[in-house]
Amino acid sequence: MILIISVIIFVLVEGILIFSIIRYRERPGAPNPFQNHGNLKLELVWTVIPTLVLFVILFFTIRGLLYVAPENEPAASASQPKIEVTAIGHQWWWEFYYPNYHVTTADTLEVPVNTTVHVNLFSNNVIHSFWVPALTGKTDVVPGHNNTKWFVAEKAGTYTGICAEYCGTQHANMRFNVKVVNNNDFQSWVSTQQQAAAAPTDPLAQKGAALFKNQCSSCHGIVGVNLKQFYNTAQECTDLPGGKANGTPECLIGPNLTHFGSRNLLAGGVLDNNTANGNCDPNNPNLMQQCNLAKWLKDPQGVKPGNDMNIGELTNDQIQQLVAYLEGLK
């Protein structure tokens, strides 16, 4: 709306300017142009009109601010259900925890359509900002000051979210998706996500699982492997850097991978989890070139320089095993 008003004013003013430059350009023998210096009426007009325009914009801005304010969040009702999520800003990826369902995911926030989504924003590092341009405005995610926000998605689909506050070198690769689905799909997604990871039966994947326990479980959690359950890292790890929360799970630095194979993005959206067309089929002879997960595991620092996944080099065989295991975690 502000853009439309501004464009109209811009075109009007520039149009008159260009018209005047051409129409009233200096011609040989022309008299001095009309002098309007000190014309009270004119000066009042061009002061009062812009003031009025700005007040109109101010009115709509304040109305919008009040509408999206936390106080205006609709109460849960049969016609307007509500879900709660905790969005945790890490450097540089988003973790999403659903406190009522005890589910943790990363990079994709899945929500039901026409439902109020109450978002608790949390960071224990630097300031991030949660922004989904097509669905909701920016709200800062401030360490020690837990903002909340709410939004309602009225149409199913996938919307791009980004971090809108510079938070370090890979700030631009701190993207996420909001996937809006119908209520039944959401419920079945939740019940799948609540499960512990299935133990692999395929021999390649079994080797991958053993490798995971050995080399990855100090930073990544998988429920059923090194975690007993999903937990709220925002509440249970706040004052426990690297420590244990009440003797239960460790505060791990990397994304929870329990259902990694069901996700579409990888490491803050730096790559897609491109499993279509057999790209990440462990028997694909071009696995290392075609599967983004393989590329990530080969060289996480090359793909996303400065990120916190510092690991020794893996062999192609090991990567094949890990791809078989992780992509099988649906």
Give residues in contact with ligand HEC (CB under 6 A). Answer: 92-93, 106-107, 170, 212, 215-216, 218-220, 253-255, 257, 260, 263, 266-268, 293, 297, 304, 307-311, 314, 322, 326
Residue 267 within binding range of Cu ion, rule CB under 5 A: no
- Please give the distance of CA 125 from its chain centroid, rounded to a whole number: 17
Considering the complex, what minimum distance in angstroms separates the CB of residue 311 from ligand HEC?
Answer: 5
Instruction: Report the distance separating Cα 271 and Cα 264, nearest Å.
Output: 9
DSSP state of 286: T
CA–CA separation, 170 and 91 (whole Å): 8
CB of 330 to ligand HEC, least distance (A): 14
CB of 271 to ligand HEC, least distance (A): 9
Within 8 A by CB and 6+ apart from 315, the residues are none
Those residues whose C-beta lies under 8 Å from the C-beta of residue 308, and which sit 6 or more positions away, are 91, 219, 253, 254
> Which lies closer to Cu ion via its Cβ, residue 170 or residue 217?
170
- Kindly tell me which of 190 and 253 has the beta carbon lying closer to ligand HEC: 253
Binding string, residues 113-132; x marks residues near Cu ion by CB under 5 A: ---------------x----
Q: With respect to ligand HEC, which residue has the nearer C-beta, 116 or 273?
A: 273
Residue in the block written with tokens 């959401």: 186
In angstroms, what is the minimal distance from the CB of 110 to ligand HEC?
13
List the one residue from 88, 103, 163, 225 that touches Cu ion (CB under 5 A).
163
Which of Cu ion, ligand HEC, none sits in contact with 254, Cβ below 5 to 8 A by type? ligand HEC
- Measuring CA to CA, which residue among 237, 207, 212 is closest to residue 224? 212
User: Which CB, 111 or 257, lies closer to ligand HEC?
Assistant: 257
> Cis peptide before 296, with omega less than 30 degrees from 0?
no
Minimum Å gap between C-beta 92 and Cu ion is: 6
Residue 220 site contact among ligand HEC, Cu ion, none (CB < 5 to 8 Å, cut-off depends on kind) = ligand HEC
User: Closest separation between CB of residue 172 and Cu ion, Å?
Assistant: 9
Shortest CB 74 distance to ligand HEC, Å? 31
Name which of 140 and 185 has its Cβ closer to Cu ion: 140
**Among the listed residues 79, 74, 165, 174, the one whose alpha carbon sits nearest the alpha carbon of residue 128:** 165
Q: Out of ligand HEC, Cu ion, none, which partner does residue 167 contact, by CB within 5 to 8 A per kind?
A: Cu ion
In whole angstroms, give the CA distance from residue 213 to residue 229.
16
Structure tokens, 231: 């937990």
Are 327 and 264 within 8 A, CB to CB?
Answer: no
Q: How many CB atoms lie within 10 A of CB 185?
A: 15
Here's the x/- map for Cu ion, 170-189, by CB under 5 A: it reads as ----x---------------
Question: What is the distance between the alpha carbons of residues 321 and 318, in angstroms, rounded to a whole number?
Answer: 5
Decide which of ligand HEC, Cu ion, none touches 180; Cβ closer than 5 to 8 Å per partner kind: none
Task: Give burial (CB, 10 Å; 0-12/13-18/19+) of 24.
Answer: exposed
* 126 versus 240: smaller Cβ distance to Cu ion: 126
